[in-house]
């Protein structure tokens, strides 16, 4: 069986090049101009990303994740969120890599078909690395005032954390 996905990108690139030739566009110049603009955007958001990555690593290395987890455990019990997933809830809005690391450890420890594994999977699929997304998208266009965006995004993440457990219990009778 031929995997269509193996040929999709090369065929798409050929279609773009042929379209550019048909429309009499200098495809190579358009490509290099786009790459230059992309590199300029990368350089403009690099300070924000560096500060974000540094803050996340300091947060994890200092043990603050464990302290916050201990503080939030009673609330998690009330909301029926497994306390083993609190580090995932804390890191998910801040760090995709950190939350993926926590997710992998949860899956390896509890298994993907356990209640905790299923809730963690739904959380990973329904939340966003909020501060990373804000840093990238707002930083690329120079927006500095993000307070409403951050608050609304964190509310959406919080809703996702709560509803992850609810939906896993609802759909898997757990």
Whether 20 maps to a domain, the answer reads no
Instruction: Give the chain's domain count.
Output: 1
Are 116 and 151 in contact, with CB atoms under 8 Å apart?
A: no
SS3 2: coil
Residue 104 lies in a domain: yes
What is the DSSP-derived secondary structure letter of residue 18? H
Gap between the Cα atoms of 100 and 89, Å rounded: 11
**Is there a contact between 172 and 114 (Cβ–Cβ < 8 Å)?**
no
> Could you tell me if residue 14 is inside a domain?
no
Q: What is the rounded average pLDDT of the residues 5-9?
A: 84
CB 105 within 8 A of CB 95: no
Q: For residues 90 and 69, what is the distance between their CA atoms, to the nearest angstrom?
A: 8
Better pLDDT: 20 or 98: 20
Give pLDDT, residue 2: 64
- 68-77 pLDDT, tens digit per residue, is 888 888 888 8
Question: String of b and e for 77-116 (b: at least 16 CB within 10 Å)?
Answer: eeeebbbbbbbbbbbbbbbbebbeebbeebbeebeeeeeb
In a domain, 94, yes or no: yes
pLDDT surpasses 60 at 57:
yes
Q: Is residue 136 part of a domain?
A: yes
Mean pLDDT over residues 129-158, rounded?
Answer: 82
* 118 in a structural domain: yes
* Domain assignment of residue 54, yes or no: yes
Of 33-47, 64-78, 138-152, the one with minimum mean pLDDT is 138-152
Residue at 32 is within a domain: no
Kindly tell me if the per-residue pLDDT of 83 is higher than 80.
yes
Of the candidates 170, 155, 162, the one whose C-alpha atom is nearest the C-alpha of residue 77 is 162
Domain of residue 108, residue span? 45-172
């Amino acid at each position: 069986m031929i995997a269509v996905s193996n040929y999709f990108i090369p065929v798409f690139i050929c279609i773009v090049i042929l379209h550019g030739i048909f429309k009499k566009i200098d495809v190579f110049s358009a490509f290099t101009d786009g790459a230059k603009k992309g590199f300029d955007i990368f350089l403009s958001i690099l300070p924000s990303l560096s500060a974000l990555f540094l803050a996340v690593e300091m947060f994890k290395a200092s043990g603050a994740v464990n302290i916050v987890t201990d503080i939030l455990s009673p609330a998690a019990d009330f909301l029926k969120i497994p306390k083993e997933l609190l580090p995932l809830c804390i890191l998910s809005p801040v760090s995709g890599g950190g939350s993926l690391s926590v997710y992998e450890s949860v899956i390896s420890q509890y298994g993907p078909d356990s209640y905790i594994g299923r809730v963690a999977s739904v959380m990973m699929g329904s939340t966003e690395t909020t501060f990373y997304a804000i840093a990238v998208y707002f930083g690329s266009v120079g927006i500095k005032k993000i307070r409403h965006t951050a608050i609304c995004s964190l509310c959406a993440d919080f809703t996702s954390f709560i509803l992850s457990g609810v939906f896993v219990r609802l759909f898997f009778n757990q």
